Structure 1
Amino acid sequence: MKTIIFSDIDGTLLNNEHKMTPRTKEAFHMLEQKHIPYAFVSARSPSGIYPILKENNLTCDIVSYSGGMIIDKNGNVLFSEGFPKHIAKEIISFLNPYDVTWNIYSEDQWIVANKKDPRVINEENIVKAQSKEGTIEDVESHVNKILCMCNPDETEAIQKLLIDAFPNLNITRSSPILIEINANGISKAKAVELLCKKHHINIKDAFAFGDNFNDLDMLKCVGHPYLMENAPSSLKEMISEHTLSNNDDGIYVALKKENII
């Protein structure tokens, strides 16, 4: 069977220390040896993904902004889509009354209101990329994504408020404190479909690994979805096939079980 492997990054590919475990790294090197294509599919920006590839000596297609931008392994942009600046302005104004840190992403720009915000500093440390202090006026083209950093006990409520206020946008939670805002029609699933076509692989033969709600559409669209053990319990009821956690080599274990590596 000709296949392709898709993996989310945070909470899936990386452990809780934001590193690939040795066996997870080994799994992807084995895929390369077998000439099995794979892609990392993330809400991160491209500059938040490339350090992972460099650190682990890997080369692959990447999907950033949860499908808002797709770049092949040679660095060619296959797809980039977002929403206009005036919509981003409306979102930022809407968020002002709440204790939310907004982040604007456009192509490979990452713009924040305050670089000294502890939430921004924490994100910079995780993704090994640097933000730039500015405003929506500094965006050179469309906005690929707005990331909202929230208090954990407020994330779900703020997501619901955003969905009600902006029904034409795709608004998902990627962690207990993060809300991702993308253009309508942007999804990990659509990116997976595009890359399956690019590699001439039936999507029903593809594997996907994820751990959170913004992975659900990707997991549902492939023939072989795997949910990490560290996923929320409500998500486990929606995807039947589970593997070990991101700290316990879940991807490696599943690919071994399936005789892919």
Structure 2
Amino acid sequence: MTTSAPATAPKLVATDLDGTLLRGDGTVSGRTAAALVAAEEAGIRLVLVTGRPPRSLPVLHDGIGRHFAITANGAAVYAPDGTAVRLSPFSPQPLAALVARVRAAVPGVSFAFEYERDFGHEQAYPAWSYGESSVELIGDADELLARNPHRPVFKVLAHHPALSLRDFHARARHSAGADAETTHSTGLALVEFSAPGVTKASALTAWSAGLGLGPEDIAAFGDMPNDLPMLGVVGRPYAMANADPEVRRAARFHTASNDEDGVARVLEEFVRLAHGRAA
């Protein structure tokens, strides 16, 4: 259930995908799909905000429809037609040093790099696709970076086969220091790095400001720690019932779980408000 919320509809809704808009099996329910359409018809803008890489966009469009999308934890923003609106990759020079420091601090780690349309990873990294046909480059991290030293990297991922996520994240974040934004978004021992200053929040704030919108105009939904920056810069932050405890504590508002159409339930309330009807 949602907590008490403002009596007007937001002008923009930003929603995370995995664990938030999508069900546990990665699909969109009929109720959620209908709520997305109804919200846009009511004049409420929608933007998908995800840690997923740009290469996942075609499959997302097939399942959810074409919307503005902030991908790779804020590193790349795309219009509904797939045109890049804002790109914020790593600068190439610090990447090799970042990888070396994390590897020294956390022995046994393996790395992957997300480019705009494909990805590269070390042999030990448990790579997976999003149903797309992107090129998969395999090699040692140093080799991959040296092979294309000026190719933009939008996100670096690191995996450890044995450490707990809490321990791995703490050690990786300390070793990365100010050279990267460090977060995590799954139950796996998987840590994500973005360029300094690049988060879901920074991308959402910059993009929405260009539309003339401020924090009070925006509602956002999330479930994992990589959503915390975004939830912290909007006027109506919502945590899912299945969210990480830290996210539930931080969010002012709450809704049902992703498998119980939590986002759709709130969107339906927003549509009623947009049409001037009481909930």
The two structures have a TM-score, normalised by structure 2, of 0.83
Q: State the superposition RMSD in angstroms.
A: 2.2
3-state SS in 1 of match to 2:19: coil
Which amino acid is the alignment partner of residue 13 of structure 2? I
Residues 198-217 of structure 1 correspond to what in structure 2 (within 5 A)? 198-217=210-229
1:103 aligns with 2:112: yes
1:128 aligns with 2:135: no
1:79 aligns with 2:86: yes
| CA positional deviation for 1:260 | 5.3
Q: 2:13 aligns with which of 5, 8, 13?
A: 5
3-state SS in 2 of match to 1:237: helix
| CA positional deviation for 1:152 | 7.3
1:176 aligns with 2:187: yes
Q: C-alpha distance in 1, partners of 2:252/2:46?
A: 22
Change (3 A) 1:250 1:256: same
Provide the residue aligned with 2:126 in structure 1: 119
| CA positional deviation for 1:4 | 0.7
Q: C-alpha distance in 1, partners of 2:207/2:80?
A: 12
Q: C-alpha distance in 1, partners of 2:11/2:75?
A: 23
| CA positional deviation for 1:195 | 2.4
Q: C-alpha distance in 2, partners of 1:235/1:2?
A: 21
Deviates further, 33-42 or 89-98: 89-98
Q: 1:30 aligns with which of 31, 38, 52?
A: 38
Provide the residue aligned with 1:65 in structure 2: 72
3-state SS in 2 of match to 1:247: helix
| CA positional deviation for 1:118 | 7.6
Q: C-alpha distance in 1, partners of 2:27/2:162?
A: 23
**Percent same amino acid at aligned positions?**
22
Provide the residue aligned with 2:168 in structure 1: 158
Q: Is the 8 A contact 2:39 2:268 kept in 1?
A: no
1:239 aligns with 2:248: no
Q: C-alpha distance in 2, partners of 1:260/1:18?
A: 29
Provide the residue aligned with 2:262 in structure 1: 250
Q: What is the total number of aligned residue pairs between the two structures?
A: 254
| CA positional deviation for 1:71 | 1.3
Provide the residue aligned with 1:149 in structure 2: 159
1:89 aligns with 2:96: yes
| CA positional deviation for 1:176 | 2.2
3-state SS in 1 of match to 2:227: helix
Change (3 A) 1:35 1:240: closer
* Alignment gaps of 5+ in structure 1: none
Which amino acid is the alignment partner of residue 239 of structure 1? A
* Alignment gaps of 5+ in structure 2: 1-8, 275-279
